[in-house]
Structure 1
Amino acid sequence: MRAGNEAPEVPVPVRILLVDDQPLFRRAIATLINEQGDLTVVGEAVNGLEGVEKAHALTPDLVVMDVEMPVMDGVQAARLIREQLPAIKVIMLTVSEDDDHLFEAIRGGVHGYLLKDLRPEQLYDMLRSVMRNETPVSPVLASRLLAELRENPRSRRPSPAAPEPAVSRRELEILQLVADGLTNKEIGRKLSITEGTVKNHIHNALQKLQMENRIQAAAYIVRQGLGNPRRR
């Protein structure tokens, strides 16, 4: 029982840095985020270079970054933040559907890649999912990424010297479903296990493969020819 004079614990909100060169959009996003009790904007930047500088100064939990900006673009800034401040998570929020930007950002270790046509509720859910160590990607972009890997022979054929996967049979099974585009909840329902168990398996597999996120793991599955036949 809680002592009478003991105050209830208040969750610490996720501290967010916004990096976008459009003041009106940036202010609108900040207003929306600050309406959520568990999310708060602690700083804003107008380009990638300023974003890197403010990331060092403010050490936020999460950086929400545009792609196309002056001085330094978001992909380059995200890479620098991930290299210099690995504890900070970075998510791209952009109008750009350019495949090169998507692939570069994923290779740079970003934790999500979203288009700006999201509804506010979707944005909140995506930001929270990043802090649960998930990797949100707009469905159209996720499909494009995995389709590119599947259709490019050099990407999908395993190397003759490719090592056996270090993951367990169950972890491999779950990563195959990740590569098929299923969410944690869908994977849990399909395999009759809890969503928490799915998350634990993915976390363990990422550690074994020395990868940052589930998109990189899905790319690994496709490149090594370990995926399931495509489902329809």
Structure 2
Amino acid sequence: MQKVRVLIVDDHHQARERMRAILDEDSLFEIVAEAPNGLNAIQKTEQILPDLILMAVDKCRADDLDATRAIKLKFPFVKIVWITAADDITHFFEALKNGAQGYLVKHYSAETWLEYLRAIVLDDEPMPREFAARILNSFFYAGDSRDDDTPLTPREKELLCLVADGLANRDIAEKLIISEHTVKNHLKNILQKLHLDNRVQLARYAFERGYCYA
């Protein structure tokens, strides 16, 4: 499997070292560069074109938000995950609003980091259940709040809920009695219809519209 080339962005050397130590535990990830701030991150991205950027973000620093938007505008294929100090679900939606694919909290375990990042960069990796639960708990929708204008078919909605529940493609295929290839095709169609990038955003979409419940 081709390695995921990672750029780490944080103004603290020790924080960058911790992120490096976590990613070194998984051979999928290869750290190709580090940057101390958003402006330098833009320059590094232009030079090396990483697959994934881990960007420490403080919403009080405008350059962090500007860097995220600038990178996604010029290099939409580069995935960005915000790294924050506070466990606040609003960071998740703020990240998506600014073009990032998600967020991680610094004090999360290395296992959670790696599971989440795999879910971001690989199509067939499930999103960690704790993230699905955290997103779900941030909404309070009743059953009649569902969006009847959704472009998804009933089958696609069913598959969407299984993704949001943290199931991998293989498990979804077994549950729906279809092939993994069919699951991947469904997911591709769903992402295209909803103009979303990954399974994390699919989970948010599902919970936000009341399709899935814990």
TM-score (norm 1): 0.72
Match in the other structure for 1:184: 168
Residue 63 of structure 1 deviates from its aligned partner by 0.6
Q: Does 1:78 align with 2:68?
A: yes
Q: Secondary structure at the match of 1:148?
A: coil
Which residue of the partner structure matches residue 204 of structure 1?
A: 189
Q: Secondary structure at the match of 2:82?
A: strand
Q: Which residue number in structure 2 is paired with residue 114 of structure 1?
A: 104
Q: CA deviation at 1:139?
A: 4.5
Question: Is residue 42–residue 67 contact of structure 2 (8 Å, CA) maintained in 1?
Answer: yes
Question: Which structure would you say has the larger RCO, counting Cα contacts within 8 Å and 6 or more residues apart?
Answer: 2
Residue correspondence of structure 1 range 45-194 to structure 2 within 5 A: 45-68=35-58, 71-72=61-62, 74-133=64-123, 139-149=129-139, 151=140, 157=145, 163=149, 165-179=150-164, 181-185=165-169, 186-194=171-179
Q: In structure 2, do the counterparts of structure 1 residues 204 and 63 end up closer, same or farther at CA, with 3 Å as the change threshold?
A: same
Instruction: Write the letter of the residue equivalent to 2:166.
Output: L
The one-letter amino acid paired with 1:25 is: A
When residues 66 and 189 of structure 1 are mapped into structure 2, their CA distance, relative to the original with a 3 A threshold, is farther
Query: Identity of paired residues, percent?
Result: 34
Q: Return the alpha-carbon distance in structure 2 between the equivalents of residues 177 and 86 of structure 1.
A: 27
Is the 2:55–2:80 Cα contact (8 Å) retained in structure 1?
yes
- Residue 119 of structure 2 contacts residue 127 of structure 2 at CA under 8 Å; is this kept in 1? no
Structure 2 unpaired stretches of 5+: none
Distance 2:137 2:22 in 1: 34
Give the secondary-structure state (helix, strand or coil) at the position aligned to 1:55: helix
Bigger shift: residues 110-119 or 87-96: 110-119
- Residue 71 (structure 1) shift: 4.7
Structure 1 gaps of 5+ residues are 1-10
Aligned residues: 212
Residue 217 of structure 1 pairs with residue 205 of structure 2: no
Q: Is the deviation greater in 127-136 or in 43-52?
A: 127-136
SS in structure 1 opposite 2:138? helix
Distance 1:221 1:122, change over 3 A: closer
For the aligned residue pairs, the C-alpha RMSD in angstroms reads 3.2
Counterpart position of 2:14: 24
Q: CA deviation at 1:158?
A: 5.0
| Structure label with greater radius of gyration | 1
Residue 31 of structure 2: aligned partner: 41
**CA offsets, 1:137-180, max 9 Å, x none?**
6644442333333x167xx8356xx63x323332121113334x
Paired position in structure 2 for 1:7: none
Q: From the superposition, tell whether residues 84 and 107 of structure 1 become closer, same or farther in structure 2 (CA, over 3 Å).
A: same
Q: TM-score by structure 2 length?
A: 0.78
Instruction: Name the CA distance, whole Å, in 1 between partners of 2:64 and 2:176.
Output: 38
Alpha-carbon deviation of 1:94? 2.9
For the residues of structure 2 that align with 1:215 and 1:57, how far apart are their CA atoms? 28
